[in-house]
Structure 1
Amino acid sequence: MNDATPDVMPDAPGTPLRFDTKIAVLLRDDLEPWQRLNAAAFLVSGLGTRLPEVIGEPYEDADGVPYLPMFRQPVLVFEGGKETLTAAHARVLSRCLPCAVFTSDLFATGNDRDNRAAVRAVPTERLDLVGLAVYGPRNGVDKALKGARMHP
């Protein structure tokens, strides 16, 4: 199956589609609610910009008003402690899965330029990760996020 072909297996019209891939967000469990929402929103935005196959078709309501397309599949949100996030990040990198990162430093910046500079200033193994988003084969993402639990 190539990247342009959706990886869904339709059973019958009207039944849920099963995806061979997974979009997942892992957030550190000690974040304030506003920090969780902010980090999750930033993290998933990175996937759609580099992986066009994750984006579905545009929406339109019954009156013909158009809306932007969104992800074509669910986004699963997980949480875990700092150690879980660090281990997941290492596994994501070792599996070469596309990912976006959000570090604690980004809560103090106010724009993309400063965000990128904050990440660039820290070596990989010393990033203070508070979140990551990952996309890839279901089993690869599941293995990378081992130890994380579904966000409540």
Structure 2
Amino acid sequence: MIKIIDISNRKNAEDVLNMQLLSYMVEAEIIGCYDIPPLKDTVNTLQQCGETFFGYYDREKLCGVISIKINNDEVDIHRLIVHPNHFRKGIAQLLLNLIESMCEVKTMKVATGSKNTPAVNFYKKNGFQIIKEVTVHEQLSLTFFEKIIERSN
């Protein structure tokens, strides 16, 4: 079941942070860089980020999270994370599908580590196009994606 997460609730923020750290540690290993912002988050930074969080729950246990910010006709996906014990179960796809179906936007944007092949392939498979790649420093580059949503009336 997917439901909105009240990130202002400390227990919810702790649950999200704990899963985020596990999930982004896997990404850090894949890309060979541990100096990534999601690994520096705290309960307070999550609670102050201004994002809307949705969680995928299996028997009341949080297994995946997506967070977004909506600005005009654009949704910016800030986090799409799945607990490593639940990789390859379609949870990321369900979360992405929810956002795409519920948001009345024209464009979706997201970024990921350029060397994070599973994430890059996931976004490409879902119709996202690469719009730019930015080198942050020697060990880290980010790939930015965009997807134009065609709504039929």
Q: TM-score, normalised by structure 2?
A: 0.31
RCO greater where, 1 or 2, for CA within 8 Å and sep 6 or more? Answer: 1
Greater strand fraction, Structure 1 or Structure 2: 2
Larger radius of gyration: 1
